[in-house]
A and B are shown apart, each in its own frame.
Chain A
Amino acid sequence: MRQSFFPVLTVVAVIVALWYAACVPMNGQWARDQAQRAGVELSFGELVADTLSQQRPRLPAPHQVAVELWNSTIVEEATGRRGLWNTGSLSNRSLIYHGWITLSATLLGFAIGTGLGIVLAIGIVHNRAMDQSVMPWAIASQTIPILAIAPMIIVVMNAIGITGLIPKAIISAYLSFFPVVVGMVKGLRAPDGMQLDLLKTYNATRAETFAKLRWPSSMPYLFASLKVGIAAAIVGAIVAELPTGAVAGLGARLLSGSYYGQTIQIWSALFAAAILAASLVALIGLAQRITLGRMGMDR
């Protein structure tokens, strides 16, 4: 952890520097046009200062995104008229509120997807017919663009009276079950012939073989899949918010930001999504360390 601190910091610093540098040419045209209209001449210093502080820049500067992130989370909830402090409930203008909407759909979808993925993997490993029939369908399901299928799911679910959280969770699950199936099939098949022969000499049943050998062997694979799965789940939840004109969620913030040309809002919603995803992956990493540590497999 400590060894990687400085390399990581260096990379972040380089990215931020490049980002600032890109802001000047990206936003420079607008600044020059404005100056020309006002009949004034901009010095280079003034140009740079202007490109880093526009209301609706093409590319917002890092500090603008950071300030927006801060304002639309902590400040909004602490001081906003509709904030947590004044009303006792989350403000619909804060990213905490929208993040939570997306997070709840993500978590539900992730749970459904993981459960489905594990059940399918167990079926594939233990049943010949499933082994030959399920995988092609699972792969085919992932070749369909999610953007194409998401509105269909929303519309169909809406027609049978299911709206809100569930359709978003299903789209989330649709993306997140796949890495779990692939990883768990591999994991449940990880024990070699010798280990299976050993259990055969004990006359162990299939259930015992599963519980004592296959399941524990698959744990490292499970956690690797879960990390991919949770990231896919959050993408699914955000995508599910786009085509429906949803009014809440990080996807809705991205959409309304793009309607009104609020680039700073878009970027801060993007960063909120990235921070959310990174935190979830880190949480799974923690669960992995604890679980494998207790199993003595964390060398």
Chain B
Amino acid sequence: MKDTQPSSAPVIEARDLNLTFETADGPIHALRDVNLTVGRGDFVSFIGPSGCGKTTFLRVIADLEQPSSGEIEVNGMTPDAARRARAYGYVFQAAGLYPWRTIAGNVKLPLEIMGYSRAEQEKRVAQVLELVELSGFEKKFPWQLSGGMQQRASIARALAFDAELLLMDEPFGALDEIVRDRLNEELLRLWARTQKTICFVTHSIPEAVYLSTRIVVMSPRPGRITDVIESPLPRERPLDIRDTPEFIEVAHRVREGLREGHGDD
């Protein structure tokens, strides 16, 4: 838990992963020869332009897409088995809260499906809402909350059932920068408290550098990994770390990686 190197038992291990979508205009190589290991407790960001396969890779981990070839293990299992074992929580770009459920009701949704007892549901809802600083909003309906608060509720929903792994697909992409900064800070605090492994898709360089222990730079056509950067930044990160030379250095390297991958366009 104290270093940024992949520890003994990897949470995610991908070997020579390929995924090709057959379309009317011919095959699209969404992922080509992806090799990646994510260790327990890592915060890994995937960054790259649209079409680079970062979301596709996250969906492969979640068993929402099937790879065409290669191997991937999640918690030592196939993605399908991991999904059935409810090994991960997934946060989508939109909060996707049910408008007919209150905030507490929305957080309860996975717990109901997974068969937790009533008392346990109540306990966990209170716990995770406190974690995302939404205590007191239990009885509100989603439309009564701001966009940022809705996204926090959706994070609470993904945390409610104690999955070790949190997969986040541009969760703050639709929010303005001020709200995004705050949620980034909160997410780091939450990560420190819960010690989860987080895979985080983004297209914002500062966000990726600020949050991650490792940054995976990807490029499109075909979607592939061009660089994996181990962040030298400490785990404890106040917002103004973004003005330090180390931060700027990492951000520069990410930008270089993105430019290389983009080469011809």
Contact = CB atoms under 8 A, between A and B. Distances in A.
Interface in B72-94: 83-84, 86, 88-90, 92-94
Given A203-B83, A203-B86, A212 B96 contact: no
A194 interface: yes
Interface stretch (A27-35, A241-249, A251-259, A291-299): A291-299
A200 B80 CA distance: 11
Contacts of B141: 296
Contact of B114 (A194, A202, A299): A202
Contact of B113 (A208, A216, A296): A208
A195 B83 contact: no
A296 B104 CA distance: 14
A201 B64 contact: yes
Interface of A is mostly: helix
A270 B99 CA distance: 42
A297 B96 CA distance: 15
B21 interface: no
Given A195-B96, A201-B64, A296-B102, A212 B112 contact: yes
A202 B112 CA distance: 10
Contacts of A204: 113
Kindly state the interface size class of chain A when it binds its partner: 10 to 19
Contacts of B112: 212
A201 B100 contact: no
B174 to A, nearest CB: 13
Contacts of A146: none
A197 B86 contact: no
B99 A296 contact: yes
Interface string B47-63: 00000000000000011
Contacts of B92: 194, 197-198
A213 B96 CA distance: 11
A199 interface: yes
A203 B96 contact: no
Nearest to A192: B96
B88 A201 contact: yes
B110 interface: yes
Nearest to B167: A201
Nearest to A291: B100
Interface string A271-299: 00000000000000000000000011101
Contacts of A199: 113
B83 A216 contact: no
Nearest to A295: B100
A165 B154 CA distance: 52
B183 to A, nearest CB: 19
Contact of A202 (B64, B86, B99): B86
A196 B143 CA distance: 21
B250 to A, nearest CB: 31
Contacts of B99: 295-297
5 contacts: A199-B113, A200-B64, A202-B114, A203-B84, A213-B98
Interface of A: 194-195, 197-204, 208, 212-213, 216, 219, 295-297, 299
Please give me the 4 A-B residue pairs with the lowest Cβ-Cβ distance, nearest first.
Answer: A295-B100, A296-B141, A201-B90, A202-B113
